[in-house]
Amino acid sequence: MKQVEGAITAPKGFKAAGVRCGIKEKGTDLALIYSERQCSVAGVFTTNAFKAASVVRNMERIKIARGRAIVVNSGNANACTGEQGLKDVDYICRFAGELLNVPIDEVYNASTGIIGVRLPMDKIDVGIMDALAELDENGGEAAAQAIMTTDTRPKMTAYEIEISGAPVRIGAICKGAGMICPNMATMLCFVTTDANINPVTFQKCLVSSVDRSLNCLTVDGDMSTNDSVIAFANGASGCSEILEGAPEHRDFEEALAKVCMEMARAIAMDGEGATKYVEIHVVNAETYADAKAAALKVANSPLVKTAIFGEDPNWGRVLCAVGGSGAKVVPENASLSFGDVKIVERGEPVKMDPELARKPMLEKELHITVDLGLGEHSATAFTCDFSYDYVKINAQYHT
């Protein structure tokens, strides 16, 4: 597996563009992703009961699981916009579909930004036409730029693997979770690949990859109205079809998981006000569900996150979060490390120089490992610390 340039346009047969249509105060704010061939589509969407209009439509569309294009805007989430919001999504997909000569059901739509406000449709009209004119085989980075809200940098990656002798590529772009948008935390991720894979197998691969990466990512624990991962596979690599259970299937899933993992890391590293990137590893849990619940509970704990900001090895807060996660915990079996420093050994604190415990806290990247000592399952949560700036960014913004 080797890393390659080009993000979502690294795989063959994909074009992308990012343009400014004026929804945000500044910067590009409309992205178009396009495949020359019909794609298998996979998707993972927010479980929030308040779903943005685009999510409602994408979830209907994914049942057909065929796609050619994705229109994404930043600056306005088109959420809590009622019937009008759905009509606007339908208009966007029909309009883009007509310009691209693609059926409406093969055009996906995603939005991120303020909620409760109707999309500025006149601007979007112009934006779609401009984006169409700019569609480019090297447009991946421009698209990554255009989906940003308060992200401080575009997020993208691409990898190449070999399947049945053919080079197959997987690329992705994403924008940040965690109150990135002033109104709402939104995570958007778009994945493209030139692999040949049917939608059912593709969906399984995506769910499995997202479950251990983007779904283990948290900045502040809220799932937005718009959170979406949409993946397109167009088969343009010429590789033979990836069949479930075949060795190629495992290779492909591994590469897809790596791409999703990198996107999760990139988002956590760019969390609002973050000064540190943090991974919580829960190992030797009785079940995977236990490991994930415990890791996410620690990653979501304001107590833990403020202690990390303060560079304080406050292991009590970590154990407390684990103990309150609902995961099976036997205190006498549980151990805890900050970086390589063992802090708690089988339920009791290790006697040590406090400076030694503090050392890993001073790094920009912190790994906390909780060993439950009960089984063989593990999970990792990706997060960042909670700083003054987190409160500032989120308190000072006025709707």
Among 224, 228, 234, 237, binds a copy of itself (CB under 8 A): 224
The first and second tokens of residue 263, run together, are 């996107």
331 part of the interface to a copy of itself, by CB under 8 A: yes
Residues numbered 145 to 184 that lie near a copy of itself (CB under 8 A) are 179, 183-184
Kindly list the distances between the CA atom of residue 303 and the CA atoms of 116, 177, 293, 322, in Å, as whole numbers in the listed order: 32, 20, 17, 12
Nearer to a copy of itself, 205 or 336 (CB): 336
Q: How many CB atoms lie within 10 A of CB 98?
A: 12
Nearer to a copy of itself, 192 or 325 (CB): 325
Among candidate residues 186, 193, 218, 380, the one labeled active-site is 186
Nearer to a copy of itself, 141 or 272 (CB): 272
Among the listed ranges 89-97, 165-173, 190-198, 221-229, the one in contact with a copy of itself (CB under 8 A) is 221-229
Active-site residue, 186 included: yes
399 part of the interface to a copy of itself, by CB under 8 A: yes
The least CB distance from residue 117 to a copy of itself, in Å, is 8
CB 372 within 8 A of CB 285: yes
CB 381 within 8 A of CB 367: no
> Parallel, antiparallel, or unpaired: how do β-strands 335-338 and 277-285 relate?
unpaired
Say how far apart CA 18 and CA 34 lie, in whole Å. Answer: 12
The least CB distance from residue 398 to a copy of itself, in Å, is 5
The first and second tokens of residue 332, run together, are 């006498």
Say how far apart CA 57 and CA 75 lie, in whole Å. Answer: 19
Nearer to a copy of itself, 79 or 96 (CB): 79
Q: How far from the centroid of its chain's Cα atoms is residue 385's Cα?
A: 18
CB neighbour list of residue 144: distance below 8 Å, 6 or more residues apart: 7, 8, 18, 31, 154, 155, 156, 173, 174
344 part of the interface to a copy of itself, by CB under 8 A: yes
The least CB distance from residue 301 to a copy of itself, in Å, is 6
Among 2, 94, 153, 392, binds a copy of itself (CB under 8 A): 392
Say how far apart CA 246 and CA 375 lie, in whole Å. Answer: 29
Report the catalytic residues. 186
Q: By CB under 8 A, name the binding residues for a copy of itself.
A: 47-51, 79-82, 114-116, 179, 183-185, 220-225, 300-303, 306-307, 309-310, 312-317, 319-324, 327-332, 334, 344, 347-349, 354, 357, 386-388, 390-392, 394-399
